[in-house]
Amino acid sequence: MQHRPLAVFEVPVLRVLFLDIDGVLNHYNTYDGCQPGRIPVAPECMARLNNLVERSGAKVVISSSWRKFAAWTELAPALAREGLVAEVIGETPDLINDPVWLAEWKSRNGTFYYERLERGHEIRQWLADHPEVEEFVILDDGNDMGVLLPWLVLTDPLHGLQYRDIDVALGLFPHSRTAPRRSPIVDP
Q: Tens of pLDDT along the chain (188 residues)?
A: 555 555 444 556 699 999 999 999 998 877 666 565 678 899 999 999 999 999 999 999 999 988 888 888 999 999 999 999 999 999 999 887 788 877 777 777 766 665 567 888 899 999 999 999 999 999 999 998 988 999 999 999 999 999 999 999 999 999 999 888 877 766 65
Asked if the structure places residue 139 within a domain, the reply is: yes
Asked if the structure places residue 28 within a domain, the reply is: yes
Asked if the structure places residue 51 within a domain, the reply is: yes
The total of structural domains in the chain comes to: 1
Asked if the structure places residue 9 within a domain, the reply is: no
Partners of 137 in the β-ladder: 17
Which range marks the domain in which residue 90 is found? Answer: 15-178
The pTM (predicted TM-score) of the whole model is: 0.85
Asked if the structure places residue 183 within a domain, the reply is: no
Class of residue 89 by CB neighbours under 10 A (exposed 0-12, middle 13-18, buried 19+):
middle
Asked if the structure places residue 160 within a domain, the reply is: yes
Query: Rounded to an integer, what distance in angstroms lies between the CA atom of residue 76 and that of residue 52?
Result: 17
Partners of 18 in the β-ladder: 61, 138
Asked if the structure places residue 143 within a domain, the reply is: yes
